[in-house]
Amino acid sequence: MLAANAPPRYPRNVRPTHPAPPRVLGWYPPTADPLAAADGPVLVAVCGAHGNEPAGVEAALDVLAALHASRPPARGRFVAVTGNRSALARGVRYVDADLNRLWTDDAVRALSDHGVRSARDGAGDLDGGVEAAEQSDLFATLSAIMGGGEAHSGRVSILDLHTTSAPSAPFAIALPTTPNRRLLAGVPLPLVHGLEGRLTGTLSSWLARAGHAALSVEGGRHGDASSVRHLVHVLWLALANGGVLDRRDVAWAANAAALRTARAGRPAGVTVAYRHPVGRGDGFRMQPGLESFQRVRKGTLLAETHAGPVTAPLGGVLLFPLYQGLGDDGFFIARRIDTRWPHGAPQQEGQV
């Protein structure tokens, strides 16, 4: 059993003291141009948007190695890109700002209007810090793949791969759009809804609102080998649902079965009802031993701060209890909805 704050394991090329990993980690098939505008289905894995979460890098490299070894026929392209290269090189969540909170409409409009600045390796940007340069470079990379930022609905799918500081079953955070329903059809992950209204500027919600299939996947706890495996299972299933590979070439049944085992006992869907914000200097300390999807009652002691104890303001399902130094979200409490998708959301016949 790893301690809650155990340092993450790093793949060979992503040790904190090493140079930043490349923006494009790899692609398949080898004949494809990884950064050309899509003329067929494309699945993009964004790995390490938080630099202390290298499990996504490991998972994408694992899948790419298997693809290059077995050479299945591909209709489109799989491209794995890194998120926050500077933070991955340092092994920290972020350096100056959380890269997964910067994708607001205003910021994306500014990147589109004023062009992109090239990211200098870890040197940062004079006016916006390290993550401004990371965002600019990642925006340029994704825009090239997506074709100048135009939405090719149903053709470009993006998985933003993460892990959490607390133990957790794997789960997905997805806006209930038709492309997202298609990408997750038959993928046995609990779905978390309602985070978008509480977290501004996430990468996947920007891309989903732009019309792409785009969602975040949490593989499990930082540093757990099982977190990498969960992300690998999800990538294989998404390669089939995204139209890149034939279902027969992705070991669908085995990957789905492994995810079903990992999610055992968790609800099909939850919707977030409460976020506990953390300010710097709060002295926020989560109570030990808490996990995502753990049920809590109203009044349960969850954390301590300089101002006193923090208890659950309502009963429900605990999500993202914070066991790392960097982060503005202490914990979330969600309610079960007992369906994968919230009622009243757009329907996609026969897909979910």
Query: Can you give the binding site for Zn ion, defined by CB under 5 A?
Result: 50, 53, 162
What is the nearest approach in angstroms of Zn ion to the Cβ of residue 46? 10
Peptide bond into 29 cis (omega under 30): yes
Q: Which of residues 217 and 240 has its CB atom nearest to Zn ion in the complex?
A: 217
Provide the residue type at 225 as one letter: A
Q: Which of residues 34 and 86 has its CB atom nearest to Zn ion in the complex?
A: 86
Phi and psi for 46 in degrees, rounded to 5?
-95, 120
What is the nearest approach in angstroms of Zn ion to the Cβ of residue 33? 29
Q: Which of residues 28 and 284 has its CB atom nearest to Zn ion in the complex?
A: 284
What is the nearest approach in angstroms of Zn ion to the Cβ of residue 152? 26
DSSP structure string for 289-340: T--TT-EE-TT-EEEEETTEEEE-SS-EEEE----SSS-SEEEEEEEE-SSS
* Buried-state track 228-237, b at ≥16 Cβ within 10 A, e below 16: bbbbbbbbbb
State which residue has the least CB distance to Zn ion.
Answer: 162
What is the nearest approach in angstroms of Zn ion to the Cβ of residue 229? 18
Q: Which of residues 52 and 255 has its CB atom nearest to Zn ion in the complex?
A: 52
Q: Which of residues 163 and 252 has its CB atom nearest to Zn ion in the complex?
A: 163
How far is 245 from 238, CA to CA, in rounded Å?
9
Helices (H), 71-128: 85-90, 105-114
What is the nearest approach in angstroms of Zn ion to the Cβ of residue 168? 12
What is the torsion angle, in degrees rounded to the nearest 10, for the CA atoms of residue 68, residue 15, residue 157 and residue 155?
Answer: -50
